[in-house]
Amino acid sequence: MGVGEVAYSSPDISDEPCSLTEIYQRQLPFYLAIGMPYDLFWDGDVTLAKSYREADEIKRKVKNQQLWLQGLYIYDALCKVSPLLHAWSSNAKPLPYAAEPYALTEQEAAQRRQKQEAQKARRSIQGCQCGQPKPTSSGIVERKGAWGRKWTMLLIRYILK
C-alpha cells in the first residue's frame, strides 16, 4: 500500500459462527455507506451487492485519479512560479500558467496538436503575404514596387524642371 492510500472493505465475516441475519446486520452499514439503498439490500436481487461493491471501487479509482491530477496542476504551478523564488535574481518573471487543461486522452492530445499545427501554418502564410500593400499606422495604404518607383521618378523630373 502506497503512502496516503486509503484501503477499506466490507467487515470480515469469518470471526465466529453466527446466524445469517447477524452477518447481514454486520455488513449493512458498509453497503449503506457505499450508496446501496436499504430496501435494495434487504429485498432486492442479492447479486446487486457485488455490483455496488464494484461500482464503489470504480468511484474510488476515479477520485484517486482526480486527486492525482490536482496534485499535478499544483506541482506545475509551483514549478512555473519558481523563478520568483530565487532571492538574488534581479528580474525574475514567473512562467505563464497552462493556457488550457491537460489533455486527458490520446484523441484530445492529437486534436490539440492538429490545432496548433493549423495555427502555425496560418501564421506563416500571413507572414509571406509581403507583395500586397500593408496599411500604415495612419491607415494610408503604402504602395511599394512599380507604382512607388514611377511616382518617385515623376517627382525627380518635376524638381529638375
Cβ at position 31, least distance to other proteins in Å: 8
Which residues would be at the binding site for other proteins (CB under 8 A)? 9-10, 13, 17, 19-21, 23-24, 27, 31, 41-50, 53
- Taking the least distance from each CB to other proteins, the nearer of 10 and 77 is 10
Cβ at position 5, least distance to other proteins in Å: 17
Element of type H or E holding 134: strand 134-135
- Taking the least distance from each CB to other proteins, the nearer of 14 and 126 is 14
Cβ at position 68, least distance to other proteins in Å: 23
Element of type H or E holding 147: helix 146-160
Q: At 106, is the secondary structure helix, strand, or coil?
A: helix
Cβ at position 36, least distance to other proteins in Å: 11
Number of alpha helices (DSSP H) and beta strands (DSSP E) in the chain: 5, 2
- Taking the least distance from each CB to other proteins, the nearer of 43 and 100 is 43
Please report where in the chains the cell 455488513 appears, as a residue. Answer: 27
Residue pair 50/65 in contact (Cβ under 8 Å)? The answer is no
CB atoms under 10 Å from CB of 49, counted, come to 18
- Taking the least distance from each CB to other proteins, the nearer of 15 and 100 is 15
